[in-house]
Structure formats: C-alpha cells, structure tokens
Amino acid sequence: MFASVIIPAAGFGERMGATIGKQFLLLNEKPILVHTLERFQSCADIQEIIVATQRSSFPIIEEFKKKYSLSKLKAPVEGGERRQDSIANALKVVDADAEIISVHDAVRPFVHLREITQSIETAKYFGASIVAVRAKDTMKQASTDGRVERTLNRASLWNVQTPQSFQRKILVDAYDFAFRNDIVATDDSYLAEQIGILPIIVEGSYENIKITTPDDLLLAELLAKRFIP
Ligand code: CTP
Ligand code: MG
C-alpha cells in the first residue's frame, strides 16, 4: 500500500514570536522540521513526504534532504495564506499511486512510529482517522463574555493532534467541498466531517505536542532529551 504524508510548514509562528518560523528553530542542534521529517522517513508505511512551505525556504528544504538523507522527501510546494491552503497545494502533487494521505504538522516532532502506523491502518479500513488524547482537564462551555453555560462530560472529550489520515478520495472530496462552500478549518478531520465522514480515534501520547508558544519550546527541550520514536 502506498501512503503519502503532507507536512504543512508554511506558517510564520506568530504566537512563538521568534525571528524565524518556529519549524526552523533548533532542538538538540537540529531544526524542529527535520526531527519531524525523520519520524516519517523512518516509518516503513510511508512512501512519500511532501512539505508545503514558503518559496524562500525551498533551498533549505533541498539542503535538509541531502544533509539528513531524506530519500522520501519530494520537491517542496508553495504554502498558502492559511494552513488549509498550504495543504490544498500539496494535495495537487500527491503521487497518483497514493491510497492513503496523512497530514502532520511540521511542529509536532514527538510523534511515535506506532501512531503513524495505526493512523494509516485505521484510515485504510475505516476511511479516516485522527490521533488524539483523552482530555485531562475538566472542560466547560462558556459564552463569549466568559459565563459558564455547562460542564462537559470529560469522559467523551479528546484533544486532537496529528497525524490525521484519510483514504485519498475522502481527503480530496473534503477539500473540494470546503473550498466550494467557504469552510475554513485548522483541522482536516473537521473538513471530512462536513462531507459526512466520521473519523476513528487512534489514542496517542501526551508527548505529541504542537510547539506553538515559547513555553512549548521549553517542554520540547525536555522531551527531546528522552524521546524514543
Ligand atoms: N501552516 C502552514 N501554512 C499556513 C499556516 C500554518 O503550512 N498558512 C502550518 C505551520 O507551519 C504548522 C502547522 O500548519 O506546521 C500548524 O499551524 P500553527 O501551529 O498555527 O503554526 P503557525 O501558523 O506557524 O503559528 P501561528 O498560528 O502562531 O502564527
Ligand atoms: Mg497558525
């Protein structure tokens, strides 16, 4: 079976507030994006890796490919204004043989091989899968002015991560539908839900953080010291 992964890496990292995109910040002397790419390079279930990034970053992606022997890495594609646009651009160049397409944030370097494999296997049989972890905190629903409306049942709540994997047609149709109907989301599975596909959850790990703000970077430095893929 042929599986491709799309890695959106075209963000500016505004919440991180660094001088460069957070995907290029170093962790153990290696860019965060390279850690992420190495996870997929070493996963036997992945045949092709497509990175969407700003055009000015194309040369550095080519350099990563050589320096870190990332043989599965294809030529980068240009990112778009929103994460969704970046992924849509990458979708256009996915190999014709790909049956499963996974999407994984460039800034989640602590993904385990088991999560990638189970995500792909689950999508193969059920159409769509998301890696997620059980909510740890009690969750409240509130109005925009901060008044609590109700307490949600934590047992049924999950924090959603990536990878998210899809049978090829499902992801393509979901993106087509989103663009035709002006649906915007930072979560790919939400777009699949809009065409009636309900993803299956693969229980993941709390280590698979999305590096978003400076405090995440501190945590990432600790995780990098002990992470076992
Ligand atoms: N991303 C992308 N194209 C965009 C926006 C985001 O490819 N137009 C990517 C980011 O590079 C990141 C992933 O989507 O790997 C998740 O997005 P997020 O954590 O929001 O990253 P940024 O958009 O860079 O950060 P911020 O929202 O703080 O600016
Ligand atoms: Mg963003």
Distance CA 66, CA 38 (A): 13
Band of pLDDT at residue 66, cut at 50, 70 and 90: very high
Q: Using a cut of 0.95, tell me whether the model's pTM lies above it.
A: yes
Report which protein residue has its CA nearest ligand 1's atom 25.
13
CA distance from start to end of the chain: 22
- Rounded to the nearest angstrom, the distance between the alpha carbon of 189 and the centre of ligand 2 is 17
pLDDT at 226: 94
pLDDT at 92: 98
Instruction: Enumerate the β-bridge partners of residue 31.
Output: 26
Locate the DSSP E strands across the chain: 3-8, 26-27, 30-31, 48-53, 77-78, 100-103, 128-134, 140-142, 148-151, 158-167, 200-203
Query: Which tokens belong to 5?
Result: 């992964």
Number of domains composing the chain? 1
Rounded to 5°, the CA angle 49-43-204 comes to: 100
Residue 126 lies in a domain: yes
Give per-residue pLDDT as tens, 119-167: 999 999 999 999 999 999 999 999 999 999 999 999 999 999 999 999 9
Flag whether 18 is in a domain.
yes
What the block records as the tokens of 187 is 């979560």
Percent of the chain with pLDDT over 70: 100
Q: Counting atoms of ligand 1 from 1, which one is nearest the CA of 16?
A: 28
Q: Longest C-alpha distance within the chain, in Å?
A: 54
Which domain covers residue 179, as residue numbers?
3-224
Span 43-51, average pLDDT: 98
Residue 229 lies in a domain: no
Atom of ligand 1 nearest to the CA of 52: 7
Q: What are residue 165's DSSP bridge partners?
A: 102, 129
Question: What DSSP string runs through 110-132?
Answer: ---HHHHHHHHHHHHHHSEEEEE
Taking the CA of 9 as reference, the closest ligand is 1
* Ligand 1 first shell, C-beta below 6 A: 8-15, 23, 52, 79-83, 86, 105-107, 210, 212
Residue 146, in any domain of the structure? yes
CA distances from 49 to 61, 107, 220 (A): 12, 15, 23
Name which residue sits closest to atom 16 of ligand 1, judged by CA.
105
Domain assignment of residue 70, yes or no: yes
Ligand 2 centroid – CA 212 distance (Å) = 9
- The model's confidence at residue 173, banded by pLDDT at 50, 70 and 90, is very high
Q: 161 near 131, Cβ under 8 Å? A: yes
CATH number for 34: 3.90.550.10
